[in-house]
Amino acid sequence: MRLATAGAALLLAAGCSVPAPPRAEAGFPACSPPSGSLTVTPTTIDVVGQAYGCILADSQVDGREVLTAGFAALVRELNRGGRDLPEAALPAMTGDRAADWAAFETRLRAIGDRVPALRADLAAATLEGMAAALGEGHARWERPPEIPPDHHDGDGYGLGLRTNAGAALPPLFVTAVDGGPARAAGLRPGDVVESADGELDAVYPDARPVRLRLLRPGTGRRWGVTLTPAVYPRDPAALRVVRSELLGDVAHVRMTGFPPDAADRALRAISRLRAGHTLSGVVLDLRGNGGGSSTEAVRLLSAFVHGAVTAHECAADGGCDGVWTDDTVPLLGLPLVVLVDHGCAGACEHLAAAVKGLRAGTLVGTRTAGAISGPARPFRLGNGTVLSLSARRHLGPDREVVDRIGVPPDHHVPATPHDAAAGRDRALETALTLLRP
Partner 1 sequence: MRRLLAAALLTGVAACACSAPEPPRSAAPSPAPARPVALPAPTGGRPVGSAVLHLTDGSRPDPWDESMRARQLRVTLWYPTEQRDGPRAPYMSPKEAEPLLTGSGMPATAAGTLSETGTHSVRDAAPAGRGLPLVVLSPGFTKPMSTLTSLAEDLASRGYVVAGIDHTHESYATTLADGRVAGCLACDSSGDPGFRAGLVRGRAADVSFVLDRLTSTYARLIDSGRIAMAGQSIGGAAAVAAMVADRRVRAGIDLDGTTYARIPKGGLSRPFLFLGTPQHVPGGPDHSWDRDWKALTGWKRWLVVAGAEHQTFTDVPLLAEVIGLDPLPGMLPASRGAELTRAYVAAFLDLHLKGRRQPLLDGPSPCCPEVTFPAQ
Cβ-based nearer residue to partner 1, 46 or 155: 155
Contacts 24+ apart (CB under 8 A), 122-125: 122/74, 122/77, 122/78, 123/42, 123/43, 123/44, 123/45, 123/47, 123/48, 124/43, 125/73, 125/74, 125/76, 125/77
Please answer whether residues 306 and 297 qualify as being in contact, where contact means their C-beta atoms are separated by less than 8 angstroms.
no
Residue placing its CB nearer to partner 1 in the complex, 105 or 155: 155
Kindly give, in sequence order, each residue whose CB lies less than 8 Å from that of residue 236, ignoring residues fewer than 6 positions away.
154
Give me the half-sphere count of Cα atoms (radius 13 Å) on the Cβ side of residue 296.
Answer: 27
DSSP-derived secondary structure letter, 238: G
Least Å from the CB of residue 154 to partner 1: 2
Please say which residue, 211 or 240, places its beta carbon nearer to partner 1. Answer: 240
Smallest distance from partner 1 to CB 43, Å: 20
List all residues 6 or more positions away from 348 whose beta carbon is below 8 Å from its beta carbon. Answer: 7, 258, 286, 289, 290, 291, 297, 340, 368, 369
Nearer to partner 1, 221 or 272 (CB): 272
94 conformational bin, left if phi > 0, alpha if psi -120 to 50, beta if neither: alpha
Least distance from partner 1 to the Cβ atom of residue 349, Å: 22
Query: Which amino acid, residue 379?
Result: F
Please, are residues 424 and 347 in contact by the beta-carbon 8 Å criterion? no
Residue 147 or 316 with smaller CB distance to partner 1: 147
Three-state secondary-structure class, residue 412: strand
In the complex, least distance from residue 385 CB atom to partner 1, rounded to whole angstroms: 14
Least distance CB 339 / partner 1 (angstroms): 20
Secondary structure element (H or E) that encloses residue 283, with its range? strand 281-285
> Is 37 or 219 the residue whose CB approaches partner 1 more closely?
37
CB of 148 to partner 1, least distance (A): 10
CA 155/CA 151 separation, integer angstroms: 6
Residues near partner 1, by CB under 8 A: 13, 35-39, 147, 149-150, 152-155, 233-237, 239-242, 245, 259-261, 265, 268, 272
Looking at beta carbons only, is 6 or 167 nearer to partner 1? 6
**Closer Cβ to partner 1, 98 or 239, answer by number:** 239
Q: How far is the CB of 287 from partner 1 (least distance, A)?
A: 17
Contact present, 223 and 214 (Cβ < 8 Å): yes
The nearest distance, CB 36 to partner 1, in angstroms, is: 6
